[in-house]
Amino acid sequence: MIFKYTVTERQTLKTFLYEQRFSKKTISAIKQDGALLINGMPRTVRHVLEPGDVVVVSLPIEQPSAALIPYDQPLDVLYEDAWLLIVAKPAHQNSAPSREHPHESLVEQALAHMQKQHERGIPHIVTRLDRHTMGIVVIAKSRHIHHLMAETSIDKIYECLCCGRIEGAGVIEAPIGRASDSIINRVVTPEGKHAKTIYQPIRVTDKYSWCRVQLLTGRTHQIRVHFQHIGHSIVGDSLYGTRHAHFQTQLLKCAEVQFAHPMTEKRVRVMCDMPDFGEWLNKL
């Protein structure tokens, strides 16, 4: 991945790179196995730039961890450019390897996809989803873009089908912390961290509600814990509710993301319509 800039003021190359939001770790990697060219000539970060100089930054080829095994299966690609890969993750797939599920993760699937396109970088997950949550996952194609995305505000909208009839829009503001008897479960507790969720019913029946949900904080299992807290656990959520006879996963998906692109500054909006929760509500 190559970046090209024209300098407008006198300063050191190191200062210039920091202004372009290259992290210290990325600059170190470039010095080891990349290239810093000023007007076509290799220079160190101590070089003093002059107005009109042309800076070319060539990121190093990134090597994946030996623990990552490329998983060559087609991705459900919703958006892709030179810097970002945005996909729809199915339920029953890890975003990244875990001890219980060491392979066939989404990041390994993205790795195979990028290798077939001869990308210089490797996938870095920006927005991770739980194994049983489906929907949009944003992936950066290099360490540098991942760093930029970490500084970018990303608006995420979720959809869920929950138990019971929810009459109107509302806000759940209740602190979430780790359960005392589990390393996985979270609970609403005064000792927890601040957590705030906004929800809006899309369609309701006597027994179920289809809701649009926005997180104002990003706590682990936040939607699942908050909906359990108000007595409307997510359909199929065996951890915070009960299993469902017809659905073998929790009916929760990331349905929409919006953000300012870190390179073009254009507004990016990506939506995921499938699965259709309206159809699933009809089945329920």
Supply the mean pLDDT for the chain.
Answer: 93
Q: Which of 33, 130, 155, 273 is catalytic?
A: 130
Q: What is the mean pLDDT of residues 92-105?
A: 90
DSSP state of 216: S
Kindly tell me if the per-residue pLDDT of 248 is higher than 90.
no
Q: How far apart are CA 114 and CA 141, in angstroms?
A: 8
Residue 77 has pLDDT above 90, yes or no: yes
Strand partners, 201: 211
Q: Is residue 33 over pLDDT 80?
A: no
Mean pLDDT of 191-205: 96
What's the CATH architecture for 156-254?
Answer: 2-Layer Sandwich (3.30)
Instruction: Say if residue 127's pLDDT is above 90.
Output: yes
**What proportion of the chain, given as a percentage, has pLDDT over 90?**
76
Residue ranges of domains in the chain: 2-58, 61-151, 156-254
- Main-chain dihedrals φ then ψ at residue 38, nearest 5 degrees: -115, 115
Q: Do domains 2-58 and 61-151 have the same CATH topology?
A: no
Q: Any alpha helices (H) in the chain, and if so which ranges?
A: 13-19, 24-33, 106-116, 143-150, 222-229, 277-283
pTM of the model: 0.88
The whole-number average pLDDT for the span 164-180 is: 94
Class of domain 61-151: alpha beta
Q: Is the pLDDT of residue 270 over 90?
A: yes
- pLDDT above 90 for 272: yes
**pLDDT above 90 (res 139):** yes
130 as an active site residue: the answer is: yes
Domain made up of 2-58: CATH architecture:
Roll (3.10)
